[in-house]
Structure 1
Amino acid sequence: MLKGFRDFLMRGNVVDLAVAVIIGGAFGQVVNSLVADVLTPLIGALGGAPDFSALKLGPIALGKFINAVLNFVVVAAAIYFLVVVPMRQVERRLKKEAQAAPPPPPEPPEEVRLLREILEELRKKA
């Protein structure tokens, strides 16, 4: 039973998933800090205070919902423009480089190499 558990934990995709979750959490902190500490103050400086939490429609706290939606839009924009777009450009550049460099010719089969060696030996003797 413990061997099966060990084998489960050591499968490649389990370890990859664990690393992805940890990196994703750390990256989430970076994005949240970018939004809270950089972009939100910039938006506030340009258009007034970007906090709508005091806005209520009767008993409904509409302002908190608006803040959540705006936060989502700002986070999505930050991820798109600061991560997705640059990664696409890098992928395109790497793809162009890979297409520009012709792939090396495939290694000939063993029979072809032997025939070439025999041909070279015959040419030397002639």
Structure 2
Amino acid sequence: MGFVKEFKEFAMRGNVIDLAVGVIIGGAFGKIVSSLVDDIITPAILTPALTAANLDNLADLKIPGTAIAYGNFLSQVISFLIVAIALFLIIKGVNSLKKKEEAAPTAPPAPSKEEVLLAEIRDLLKAKP
């Protein structure tokens, strides 16, 4: 039973749950970026280059005389760059929010009873002639 209890404690930690959510959202975000590259960026930006090379598809880009197809590689590089930039902007935003929270000044702690009494005694001693 120790193993099951230990595994349950591990699986229910906040970090594991956060990681699972991050992986799921990351997978969905990856599909969105792939669609952006394949359906919007490639046709809009790379179509003139493909037309000049007499190609219809980015996957058809190959080094002449070889089986090296670099079109899909270019597509994946573009996808990676978009994901990296998006994550950078998200992390930058989160860090700026954390800095604002840290920059908020905290109120100094209230003096203890002893300090208040000592201050009163000091003031009384100063008031004596």
User: After TM superposition, is the score higher than 0.5?
Assistant: yes
| Counterpart residue number, 2:60 | 53
Identity, % of aligned pairs? 36
- Give aligned pairs, total: 117
State the Cα RMSD in Å: 3.6
TM-score, length of structure 2 as denominator length:
0.62
CA deviations 1:6-59 (Å, max 9, x no partner) are: 22211222212211111111111111111111111112333235524363655x
The unaligned stretches of length 5 or more in structure 2 are: 51-55
Q: Distance in 1 between the 2:73 and 2:61 partners?
A: 15
Q: Distance in 2 between the 1:40 and 1:22 partners?
A: 26
How has the CA–CA distance of structure 1 residues 7 and 88 changed in structure 2, closer, same or farther, with 3 Å as cutoff? closer
Residues 62, 71 of structure 2: 8 Å contact kept: no
Tell me whether 1:90 sits opposite 2:93 in the alignment.
yes
* 4+ long deviations beyond 6 Å: none
**AA at the equivalent of 1:51:** L
TM-score, length of structure 1 as denominator length:
0.63
**What's the CA shift for 1:80?**
3.9
Tell me whether 1:75 sits opposite 2:79 in the alignment.
yes
Q: Distance in 2 between the 1:18 and 1:96 partners?
A: 26
How has the CA–CA distance of structure 1 residues 94 and 16 changed in structure 2, closer, same or farther, with 3 Å as cutoff? closer
**What's the CA shift for 1:107?**
1.3
